[in-house]
């Protein structure tokens, strides 16, 4: 069965550009973004890995470790990473799993045979410090992902874990949030001293609490 939200992320040990990784130990008490790309030496993947590397500092600020994967051998990852640095202006600064034996791809359902029988699709898993799956995304090989969107989801998850809030369409840091329906108006007054706006009884907004 496909991995679902709330599942514990399957653990594994696999080779990477930063040595063998035991996944749960490597995550430690951080958040994690695990993402697959179809293949080394391919154009879209080259741009994605460069973009992800350039966002490392933003991920670290949020206590997030990132880790990529494809079914290529370690020797290819190492040689290709020089191209990423040369063409994207940022060296690879996070591990890439070398999943040539498909151990992790199979565990996470990253190969979709009707799309491609051998290569991984562009999967994304956001995993929290308790190792729970908090987001899954699947993109086709032809579409590079938007890592700012992945960051946006992390911001939302970390905010809504702390407060009885949800975030509306296209929300980004600093914008108004939605008070979850389980909170009464009386409780909302106590929880959100900045006040709230009742647009409908089920649609109430409040400024984002400071974080
Ligand atoms: C790419 O990363 O450019 C790519 C990989 C597999 C299929 C199509 C594009």
Instruction: Provide the CATH number for the domain around residue 72.
Output: 3.40.30.10
Which CATH number characterizes residue 192's domain? 3.30.1020.10
Task: Answer yes or no: do 53 and 108 share one domain.
Answer: yes
Give the confidence band of 1 by pLDDT, cuts at 50, 70, 90: confident
Is 156 inside any structural domain?
no
**Residue 144 Cα: closest atom of ligand 1:** 2
What is the crossing angle of helices 43-54 and 74-88, to 10°?
70
Is 195 inside any structural domain?
yes
Task: Answer yes or no: do 21 and 49 share one domain.
Answer: yes
Judge whether residue 211 has pLDDT over 80: no
Phi, psi of 49 (to 5 degrees): -70, -35
Task: Report yes or no: 163 and 191 within 8 Å, Cβ to Cβ.
Answer: yes
Give the SS3 label for residue 22. Answer: strand
90-107 per-position pLDDT tens digit: 999 999 999 999 999 999
Task: Report which protein residue has its CA nearest ligand 1's atom 7.
Answer: 141
Q: Is 141 in the pocket of ligand 1 (CB under 6 A)?
A: yes
First to last CA, the chain: 37
46-90 per-position pLDDT tens digit: 999 999 999 999 999 999 999 999 999 999 999 999 999 999 999
Task: Answer yes or no: do 24 and 95 share one domain.
Answer: yes
Task: Answer yes or no: do 123 and 74 share one domain.
Answer: yes
Q: Which residues are catalytic?
A: 45
Task: Report which protein residue has its CA nearest ligand 1's atom 1.
Answer: 44
Q: What's the number of domains the chain is made of? A: 2
Residue 172's domain comprises 163-206
**The pLDDT of residue 32:** 98
**The pLDDT of residue 147:** 97
Is 1 inside any structural domain?
no
| CA of 119 relative to ligand 1 center, distance in Å | 10
Task: Answer yes or no: do 18 and 74 share one domain.
Answer: yes
Task: Answer yes or no: do 114 and 39 share one domain.
Answer: yes
**Whether the predicted model's global pTM rises above the 0.85 cut:** yes
**The pLDDT of residue 138:** 98
| CA of 69 relative to ligand 1 center, distance in Å | 14
Task: Answer yes or no: do 69 and 141 share one domain.
Answer: yes
H-helix or E-strand spanning residue 182: none
7-44 per-position pLDDT tens digit: 999 999 999 999 999 999 999 999 999 999 999 999 99
| CA of 42 relative to ligand 1 center, distance in Å | 5
Task: Answer yes or no: do 82 and 20 share one domain.
Answer: yes
The span from the CA of 50 to the CA of 68, in Å, is 12
Task: Report yes or no: 139 and 121 within 8 Å, Cβ to Cβ.
Answer: yes
Task: Report yes or no: 41 and 70 within 8 Å, Cβ to Cβ.
Answer: no
Phi, psi of 177 (to 5 degrees): -115, 170
154-168 per-position pLDDT tens digit: 999 999 999 999 999
- Mean pLDDT along residues 148-159: 98
Q: Return the CA Rg of the chain.
A: 19
């Amino acid at each position: 069965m496909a991995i679902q939200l709330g599942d514990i992320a399957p653990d594994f040990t696999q080779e990477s550009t930063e040595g063998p990784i035991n996944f749960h130990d490597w995550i430690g008490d951080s958040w994690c973004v695990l993402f697959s790309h179809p293949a080394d030496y391919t154009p879209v993947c080259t741009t994605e890995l460069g973009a992800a590397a350039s966002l490392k500092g933003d991920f670290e600020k949020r206590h997030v470790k990132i880790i990529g994967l494809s079914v290529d051998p370690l020797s290819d990852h190492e040689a290709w990473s020089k191209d990423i640095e040369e063409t994207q202006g940022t060296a690879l600064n996070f591990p890439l799993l070398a999943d040539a034996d498909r151990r992790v791809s199979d565990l996470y359902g990253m190969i979709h045979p009707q799309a491609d029988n051998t290569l991984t699709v562009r999967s994304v898993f956001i995993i929290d410090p308790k190792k729970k799956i908090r987001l899954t995304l699947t993109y086709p090989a032809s579409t590079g992902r938007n890592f700012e969107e992945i960051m946006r989801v992390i911001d939302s998850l970390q905010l809504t874990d702390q407060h009885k809030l949800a975030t509306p369409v296209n929300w980004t840091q600093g914008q108004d949030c939605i008070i979850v329906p389980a909170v009464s108006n009386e409780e909302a007054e106590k929880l959100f001293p900045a006040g709230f706006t009742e647009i409908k009884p089920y649609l109430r907004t409040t400024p984002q609490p400071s974080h």
